[in-house]
A and B are shown apart, each in its own frame.
Chain A
């Protein structure tokens, strides 16, 4: 599946300023791994012990992946995977 991963402004210093990265992946985990392969520093910023850090939210087409199958959430061709800080609001 070809999907777009959207990178928040706070992390673009490790993606050479890129805000949207096109990658292939059947699941959210695979898509993120594909992004990490291009920008290795991103991995430690948002993951810890193989999972997402506790202050990271990930959405597939607007839906929080924790309401789906987490990193195992299946992707469709053309999906948008959005990474956002979890520390806003309230």
Chain B
């Protein structure tokens, strides 16, 4: 069993394991720091394989002392071999991690499950979040399942599907007139005076740990081995950096052999503070005002931007930005070659993969894993164009007459 504590990622000052997220000395982010010295890799692997069919099988690598409680366990989503997409792009071995197959259809169920289990452990009765949509769905659902009160703050102009898939759970849904960054600032201020667990503010050090489980599952599903390269969307940069942290922890412990994969990040051109900083060679990100159809990635002021930059550079990767048209094409390319219908964020990721392949950056001998983080039914507007329905009378004549020859031509 590992032990853990809360430490500043910058100056390493230690803090009690409470709902706190900022270092009082240097204002840096607090992180969970583990001591795995008592852990035997073979025993850990056996325990994982005998564990529950979801993320709690990795509880020894999460910030809990006992078994975490959460009634809506996410995880163990399919890792699908994507040969048709690989052929189309000229890639040797390609896998899609389809994280739309979670309880509320995005990777956010992972981070929320960890945050809510921690919120209950710390005695909170109300949970809250600042969200671009997927987090809103997950917080509302997990709070409903656990019987906790919840407040969900989103930009008021969010996709209707994401609003509906939040409101249905009976949460208090607040649409803020502004960007996600405005919502986030408001929640950071509210957090000071309300006795609430804001999953991505005062519980963020715990919450972000949930993203490591995407790396753990990838290793397990690849038969306890590593990919050579991963392609992953970037909004705040938390998912991107924590997937790397997951691989790193297991490599350090000897649970898997090899090196950290190359990390390629994906952003929408209309909100690309991290991709821009990468391209310009900057060490920090300059905030942007988002203007993109990829609303779930529309964070103009990314909290983990500096760490995402460091990761892409240190692994020999890159961070690409793609246009709204490329995002729509990416959604269709993934759907037509894999049968997986993703939201705009997945369109961003698929389009970035296509760009890497186009530039010849992917060696045919490489094993590539692409993280598809959300569901296409949540961003239907992005797919309204691009195909048409043929409406006919219910007669053989109507089908066989003009339509069938036209369809098969």
Contact = CB atoms under 8 A, between A and B. Distances in A.
Contacts of B302: 90
Contacts of A86: 27, 301, 303
A84 B188 contact: yes
B303 A64 contact: no
Contacts, number: 91
Interface stretch (B231-239, B248-256, B396-404): B231-239
Interface string A48-89: 000001111101001010110000000000000010111111
Interface residues of B, number: 40
Contact of A10 (B27, B182, B187): B27
Contact of B286 (A66, A82, A88): A66
A64 B181 contact: yes
A90 B304 CA distance: 9
Contacts of B188: 84-85, 88-89
Interface residues of A, number: 25
Contacts of B187: 88-89
A90 B21 contact: no
A64 B185 CA distance: 10
Contacts of B306: 54
B192 interface: yes
Given A85-B22, A90-B238, A64 B28 contact: no
A70 B287 CA distance: 12
A43 to B, nearest CB: 12
SS of A interface (majority): mixed
Contacts of A67: 287, 289
A88 B27 contact: no
A87 B198 CA distance: 13
Contacts of B180: 89
A1 interface: no
Contact of A85 (B25, B27, B198, B289): B27
A88 B192 contact: no
A45 interface: yes
A71 B55 CA distance: 45
A17 interface: no
Interface of A: 8-11, 13, 45-46, 53-57, 59, 62, 64, 66-67, 82, 84-90
9 A-B pairs with least C-beta separation = A90-B236, A87-B29, A89-B184, A85-B22, A88-B201, A10-B22, A55-B27, A9-B192, A88-B188
6 contacts: A45-B26, A53-B27, A55-B10, A88-B191, A90-B238, A90-B303
Given A55-B10, A88-B198, A89-B188, 19 more contacts: A9-B192, A11-B27, A45-B26, A54-B306, A55-B22, A55-B27, A62-B182, A62-B185, A66-B287, A84-B188, A87-B22, A88-B21, A88-B188, A88-B303, A89-B184, A90-B236, A90-B237, A90-B302, A90-B304
